[in-house]
Structure 1
Amino acid sequence: MLWVPVGLGLGIAWYFGLRHEPGTLAVLAGAGIAGLGLGWIAWRPYALAPRMFGGGAATLAVGFLAAFWATHRQSPLPDLPARASIVTGRVVAVSLLAASDGPSVRRLDLAGVVLDDPLDAGMPPLRRILRVRLRADDPLVLVPGMVVRVRALLRPPAPPSWPGGPDRQRRAYFDGTAGSGTALGPAEAIGAVPGTSSLEGIRELVAARIVRALPGATGGVATAVLTGSAVGMDQADRDAFADAGLAHLLAVAGLHLGIVMGVSVAVTRLLLACSEWATLYWPCRSIAAIAGLGAGIVYVGLTGAHLPALRSLTMAALVVLAIVTGRRALSLRGLAVGAILLLLTGPADLLDAPLQMSLAAVMALAAGAEVTRPVLARLTEQPGWWRRVLLHVVHLGQASLLAGGATVPVVMAHFGTLQPWFVLANLLAVPLMAMWVLPLGLLSLLLMPLGAEGAALVPMGWGIGVILDLARMVSGWPAARLAVPAMPGWGLAVWLLGLCWLCLWAGRWRWWGVGPMVLALAVPFWVVRPDLLLSPDGRTVAVRDGGVLRIGPRPGSERLVEADWRQALALPPAPMAGACREGACLLDGGRVGVRLRDVAPSSGCAGMVVLVTLVPDDAGCRGVRVLDTLEAWKSGAQAVFLSSGGPVVISDRDWRGARPWVLAPGQHGMPALPLAQRE
């Protein structure tokens, strides 16, 4: 049972690793393999071979089919106009975005969008959500449900900045978003303005009262943990939390939900214990668990019902179900059931960091608890109050070490960083958040109808201040945040499979999983990295020059692309003038040429194999592969690897292939045309 989600995950990864969409024959073959495997198990349910081979093949096939079905029930990415357009749509959500160089701005999620554009006139509304960032000085008061019109410059989801880089188009495809836009003028309401929804109004009221009682960074942290929005924090403080390995304290997910439910269960159980009748005749444990789940549902709704919190709520519901039915609350079998539900309902989430981190951390915690339970039980069997205190400290250290250690390669693969001091920082900050900050925050929510929330918010701010000081202190330590090269997907898969082998098996052979895990940690440091990169629009080039990444012709012109490059190669940026002083230069002994301006290399085209140019190639070098704006328009970002056998060029199109989420050349999606009668 424990290996069923592993098989599903391998089938999902197999589907997403294809370069072309599987045809009807492959889908029918997958369905046949799943049916034969399950039929073999039904025929001989107690034999080992059907369970191992038939079940393994069936789970692979089911995972493959689940990913195929999830892909083909999505509407295609639309072709957004390349010019400014009048956008009209219904507001489904309003978010505040923090800005590093100015005030926070609002972002609208618009549904049923109609584009007032000559090419889109009379076309049906978009079937996806369009996200538009408003101007900072826009005075319109926005509430979900109202219809707005705004002139905006639209753009599709950004393609990968380098072959193998973060695929934001795939993420947008499965998130149901069409793209994004930036408002060029003020937004105006169309028709009647609906009243503010009760939940949205409560969230705004809670945030206003928190900021009134706790100004500054302290109020920003309190607002983040109680409403899910951290826009009140400065960028420096957010960076300090990230460098100290405490960024998860600002994102409402499993940790916060577990604390809220744990406090609610403890309070409910204590109140029930005050009644002799309830203690003797009522199922107090089950009632407290259900009350905790109710508090968790309210908390998730209050903080915006983000996807990580909803996943954690699903796992929490399974834990409550186990308590009510008399089963073990925290077990690997319960985790397997939850993982199966999450993988079947959202197969594409397997490729993103939140689900990988959640499953890896919980699996390590559950397996570690089973192994260390007999050893730690000796502390409770011996007399002495200090032993119980030591037990709590050991539990906290064990949780930080297991959960943090299991997710280190996931952080390395998705964020390109390593925080060596995260265990110590979490050992001090997480207990303070669990025992002081969040309980007082919940008390402040209960006191807000009485207008006495300050009695809880002020001492809550004391605890937040300690966490802020801790984050600032740890982030200033030597090597607090180390940049590591990007880990390829297969390296992360090796780590996760080794972790599964270590956690899911019992006995000595479980330690065989340590070998693949050690190998995976070394992958980022010995994998071959590209020596030259060309941006997806063909306007920026980067050259790996020793310990720096030289970017030209104007560093900072493409912030997102350059940030992805620096993260992938773990190198600091530097101007291109150090490598190409005259606007043109030669690399790899003259086999690779780089042109930043309309200047030809000094030696012409002699011996050149690849020419990377940011200007039209009028020289007409025969037999030379040219990587320019046109090539980037057709094939996306380009990567050049220098080797003894000659330069090797890989494009984004070569890497991703032809999949439904890969936009056509020029980053064009599907036109918003009405479907034919047959379709």
Structure 2
Amino acid sequence: MLNPMSVMVLFAGEHRRLVLWVPVLLALGALAYFQWPCEPGGGVGCVLPAGVAALGLGVSLYWPHTLVARLGGGGVTALVVGFAAAWLATHTQPAMPELPRRAVEVQGVVRDVAYYPAPAGQGEPVRHVTLVDAVMQDFVDDGMRPLRRSLDIRLAVQDSTPLAPGDALRVRAMVRPPPFPALPGGRDRQFEAWFAGQAGSGYALESVQVEPGLQHPQSGLWLAVDRLRVLVDARIRHVLPGASGSVVATLLDGRASAVPQNIRAEFAASGLAHLLAVAGLHLGLVMGAAMLACRLVLAAWQYAALRWPCKAISAVVAWVVGGGYVLLTGAHLPAERSWMMSSIVVLGLVVGRRAVSMRGLALAATLMLLLAPQVVLDVAFQMSMAAVMALVAGYEVLHPILLRSLSGLRGAGHACARHGAMLVLTSLLAGTATLPVVMAHFGVVQPFFVLANLLAVPLMGVWIMPLGLLALLAMPFYADAPFLHMMNAGVCGVLWLAHKVAGWPGASIAVPAMPGWGLGCVLLGLCWLCLWRGNWRWWGACAVLCGTLTPWLAPQPDILVSPDAQLVGVRDRTAVLVMGHARDVRAITAAWAQALALPVVAFSTAAAQEVENPDGSLICGEEGAEGSCVLLRRGHEVVVRIHDPSDGRASLPQSLCAQADLVLSVAPLRVSCLNVPVRLDRFTAWHAGAQAVFLGSGVRVVTDRQERGERLWVLKPGGHGMPTLPLAQAE
């Protein structure tokens, strides 16, 4: 049993690793803000953290030689700084605007043009434009200020109007705000849109009209980069128009939107989904190829080889090339994190210090959390940090063992064995560390990820990415076609590998949704396992294991209700029985299937029928109530009304409600079943969002509003935002 003194001794022995916990505490502080039940004011969000941080720093400086004071003061300071950084990052974002619920003329400036697969998976890709400085041209919003957020508009299929970043256009479109989560605790697209600067999305009702004379709000570097990305994408699509060409475009300009859904599914099932997300792997391959090429050129020049620091020069050149690649691929957060990490590596090479270390990762994570604290909830940030942390810590422990085991080999055999063993170790460490994160966010486990990466990653490193760099260099001279075709041959090999591995039995195993506290347990346990060096680090493995098992330990909802109350899902042992109709039925049912790890099955209530299983029974058409069902489960009776032509004006039969513990209706209940303890209807969903019903010792209802609270990024009931009213006329 450890006593406080022995704990202090353990901390003292790890004193050089204590600084590595600064980004972890920053992340916990930011997470505390994002999980706050209501929006804190300026006093709690900024003034109080500033005072606590000053007190913590004062304690650390007043007793600099006392470990308890340094740990307590420094830890509290990091926590409140993370909380305050999240509060500031949230409150510096513009408010969500109120978007019209009808067709409207939208005028704006194109910031980006992207291609997406056809909705049904057939036909030509569909263009999407991102508009900034958008203005609604209707009688309500006449004279409004331009939106401070962007709009994503899907153009009409037959629209072939040439567009480029900087063009001003006018289009008649239907727009809507970001959707509410499909279930409590589900993916929060409103949170993502809030920090991405998005107001919503929509689709064009007719062809766009280019409006000359307006200027793009961006200028200089960013406008040039946007236009360059569009030109590169158009050139790749011209040379390689097929599905493999969309993967090539993803690798060279970061536009993964055009990759067909079936290819995405195969990459996910084979454990190769990370190849479609430009991040550390791609940046490392690009910078490695650039550094190798520059080193070879300098080594071939006798004057430079004898007099210049070729290694440092090559590292700086690779860093510049990597920065250009990050800009060309859209400067996404994972790529930015990787480039920050590479900056520290390059600095270490230049000054002769250790290039790859846990301190470099901690510094990169600290910068990211201070500049954009919302990344603490981002799957890409969690996966990249977990993978790199596991790689650095794993190689610290296993690399000496690997070298000793291969010491008996010599020559080419030693080089091949060492390279193969390191490749297996890298895939195993990174894949195992990110496996619980993939389970939490995507609801799948890929058992064959190591085998697939053993073949795909070397092909990416020695063939695909070097040829991609050559193609980009040759593109201004229109000499890129040979390199693109050779690169495409390698991509086709990866596609074939993903297809074959995805077709194996058990290649993708669905798992239920992991609760948030389970993912937090996994990540904290992984930090404990990787950041310490003593034997007590292995306690973290227990936390990781416990968190990984939570999807099967947490209770699953028996009934799910969509945000608009038009869809109801009843969980069965083998499927989710979905009743009703909704506009977003495909997205909602996909989220339900992933959360419950069960297929969705459409269930019709038009005719009288009964479904029995060991958990209970579902009876429809009873008591002459057409379009209504009764669920009997665990001693509870639930009445579900799916179809009501009277919109709630016709009451349900009193005999149907007599023994009910809960009544659920897609229409307003009004005076129906007034004696039932729990009543849920369309008005309830309008106020509270999606709902999950748990039938156990009692009836427990969890709503989306309870899960997310009253926060700035949570839209008002009905999806309403801040009105975009014009300024009052001056008198």
Q: Which range, TM-score by smaller chain? A: over 0.9
User: What is the CA–CA distance in structure 2 between the aligned matches of 1:664 and 1:214, rounded to whole Å?
Assistant: 45
Query: Which residue number corresponds to residue 265 of structure 1?
Result: 291
Question: How does 1:236-247 map onto structure 2 within 5 Å?
Answer: 236-247=262-273
Secondary structure of the residue aligned to 1:2 is helix
Query: Which residue number corresponds to residue 423 of structure 1?
Result: 450
Query: Which residue number corresponds to residue 8 of structure 2?
Result: none
Stretch moving more, 68-77 or 292-301: 292-301
The answer as to whether partners of 1:146 and 1:192 remain within 8 angstroms in 2 is: no
Query: Which residue number corresponds to residue 115 of structure 1?
Result: 136
User: What is the CA–CA distance in structure 2 between the aligned matches of 1:676 and 1:13, rounded to whole Å?
Assistant: 40
The answer as to whether partners of 1:311 and 1:342 remain within 8 angstroms in 2 is: yes
Amino acid at match of 1:156: P
Amino acid at match of 1:586: V
Query: Which residue number corresponds to residue 36 of structure 1?
Result: 55
Q: Percent identity?
A: 50
Query: Which residue number corresponds to residue 597 of structure 1?
Result: 643
Question: How does 1:247-326 map onto structure 2 within 5 Å?
Answer: 247-326=273-352
Cα deviation, residue 242, structure 1 = 1.6
Output one character per residue of 1:475-509: Cα deviation in whole Å (capped at 9) or x when no partner.
00011111111111111110000000000000211
Cα deviation, residue 429, structure 1 = 0.5
User: What is the CA–CA distance in structure 2 between the aligned matches of 1:63 and 1:557, rounded to whole Å?
Assistant: 36
User: Could you say if the C-alpha distance between residues 449 and 651 of structure 1 is closer, same or farther in structure 2, counting changes exceeding 3 Å?
Assistant: closer
1:8 paired to 2:61:
no
User: What is the CA–CA distance in structure 2 between the aligned matches of 1:200 and 1:56, rounded to whole Å?
Assistant: 42
Cα deviation, residue 430, structure 1 = 0.5
Secondary structure of the residue aligned to 1:131 is strand
User: Could you say if the C-alpha distance between residues 287 and 661 of structure 1 is closer, same or farther in structure 2, counting changes exceeding 3 Å?
Assistant: same
Output one character per residue of 1:271-292: Cα deviation in whole Å (capped at 9) or x when no partner.
1111232122211111101110
Stretch moving more, 458-467 or 189-198: 189-198
How many residues are aligned here?
Answer: 676
1:551 paired to 2:551:
no
User: What is the CA–CA distance in structure 2 between the aligned matches of 1:207 and 1:122, rounded to whole Å?
Assistant: 37
User: Could you say if the C-alpha distance between residues 232 and 130 of structure 1 is closer, same or farther in structure 2, counting changes exceeding 3 Å?
Assistant: closer
1:404 paired to 2:431:
yes
User: What is the CA–CA distance in structure 1 between the aligned matches of 2:410 and 2:525, rounded to whole Å?
Assistant: 40
Query: Which residue number corresponds to residue 142 of structure 1?
Result: 163
The answer as to whether partners of 2:576 and 2:601 remain within 8 angstroms in 1 is: yes
The answer as to whether partners of 2:566 and 2:581 remain within 8 angstroms in 1 is: no
1:628 paired to 2:649:
no
Amino acid at match of 1:385: A
The answer as to whether partners of 1:592 and 1:647 remain within 8 angstroms in 2 is: no
Amino acid at match of 1:597: H
Amino acid at match of 2:692: A
Stretch moving more, 142-151 or 382-391: 382-391
Stretch moving more, 222-231 or 337-346: 222-231
1:638 paired to 2:665:
no
The answer as to whether partners of 1:444 and 1:456 remain within 8 angstroms in 2 is: yes
Cα deviation, residue 229, structure 1 = 2.8
Amino acid at match of 1:4: V
Q: Tell me which of 437, 441, 445 is aligned to 1:414.
A: 441
**Structure 1 gap ranges (5+):** none
Q: Tell me which of 455, 464, 473 is aligned to 1:446.
A: 473
1:464 paired to 2:464:
no
Secondary structure of the residue aligned to 2:382 is helix
Cα deviation, residue 315, structure 1 = 2.1
Question: How does 1:579-618 map onto structure 2 within 5 Å?
Answer: 579-582=618-621, 583-587=627-631, 588=633, 589=635, 591-598=637-644, 600=652, 603-617=655-669
User: Could you say if the C-alpha distance between residues 341 and 231 of structure 1 is closer, same or farther in structure 2, counting changes exceeding 3 Å?
Assistant: closer
Amino acid at match of 2:154: R
User: Could you say if the C-alpha distance between residues 68 and 193 of structure 1 is closer, same or farther in structure 2, counting changes exceeding 3 Å?
Assistant: closer
**Structure 2 gap ranges (5+):** 1-18, 605-610, 612-617, 622-626, 645-650
The answer as to whether partners of 1:216 and 1:232 remain within 8 angstroms in 2 is: no
Stretch moving more, 33-42 or 11-20: 33-42
Query: Which residue number corresponds to residue 46 of structure 1?
Result: 65
Cα deviation, residue 445, structure 1 = 2.6
User: What is the CA–CA distance in structure 1 between the aligned matches of 2:691 and 2:102, rounded to whole Å?
Assistant: 26
Cα deviation, residue 333, structure 1 = 0.3
Secondary structure of the residue aligned to 1:591 is strand
Q: Tell me which of 180, 203, 207 is aligned to 1:182.
A: 203
The answer as to whether partners of 2:337 and 2:365 remain within 8 angstroms in 1 is: no
Amino acid at match of 2:436: P
Question: How does 1:179-578 map onto structure 2 within 5 Å?
Answer: 179-192=200-213, 199-200=225-226, 202-211=228-237, 213-214=239-240, 216-230=242-256, 233-378=259-404, 379=406, 383-554=410-581, 558-577=585-604
Amino acid at match of 1:351: L
Stretch moving more, 405-414 or 299-308: 299-308
Cα deviation, residue 641, structure 1 = 0.6
Cα deviation, residue 10, structure 1 = 0.7
User: Could you say if the C-alpha distance between residues 139 and 459 of structure 1 is closer, same or farther in structure 2, counting changes exceeding 3 Å?
Assistant: closer
Query: Which residue number corresponds to residue 661 of structure 1?
Result: 713
Secondary structure of the residue aligned to 2:140 is helix
Cα deviation, residue 602, structure 1 = 8.6
Cα deviation, residue 676, structure 1 = 9.7
Secondary structure of the residue aligned to 1:94 is strand
Cα deviation, residue 590, structure 1 = 5.1
Output one character per residue of 1:491-536: Cα deviation in whole Å (capped at 9) or x when no partner.
1110000000000000211111011000011100110111111111
Amino acid at match of 1:494: C
Output one character per residue of 1:386-420: Cα deviation in whole Å (capped at 9) or x when no partner.
11211111111111111111111111111111111
1:96 paired to 2:112:
no
Amino acid at match of 1:43: Y
The answer as to whether partners of 2:112 and 2:230 remain within 8 angstroms in 1 is: no
User: What is the TM-score when the length of structure 2 is the normalising length?
Assistant: 0.88
User: Could you say if the C-alpha distance between residues 211 and 122 of structure 1 is closer, same or farther in structure 2, counting changes exceeding 3 Å?
Assistant: closer
Cα deviation, residue 581, structure 1 = 3.6
Query: Which residue number corresponds to residue 624 of structure 2?
Result: none
The answer as to whether partners of 1:135 and 1:186 remain within 8 angstroms in 2 is: yes
1:65 paired to 2:84:
yes
Amino acid at match of 2:183: W
User: What is the CA–CA distance in structure 1 between the aligned matches of 2:484 and 2:719, rounded to whole Å?
Assistant: 49
Q: Tell me which of 28, 36, 39 is aligned to 1:18.
A: 36
User: Could you say if the C-alpha distance between residues 481 and 382 of structure 1 is closer, same or farther in structure 2, counting changes exceeding 3 Å?
Assistant: closer
The answer as to whether partners of 1:555 and 1:575 remain within 8 angstroms in 2 is: no
Output one character per residue of 1:175-215: Cα deviation in whole Å (capped at 9) or x when no partner.
11111111111111112388996545544554455455545
User: What is the TM-score when the length of structure 1 is the normalising length?
Assistant: 0.95
Amino acid at match of 1:637: A
Query: Which residue number corresponds to residue 194 of structure 2?
Result: 173
Secondary structure of the residue aligned to 2:537 is helix
Stretch moving more, 131-140 or 514-523: 131-140
User: Could you say if the C-alpha distance between residues 450 and 651 of structure 1 is closer, same or farther in structure 2, counting changes exceeding 3 Å?
Assistant: closer
Stretch moving more, 551-560 or 437-446: 551-560
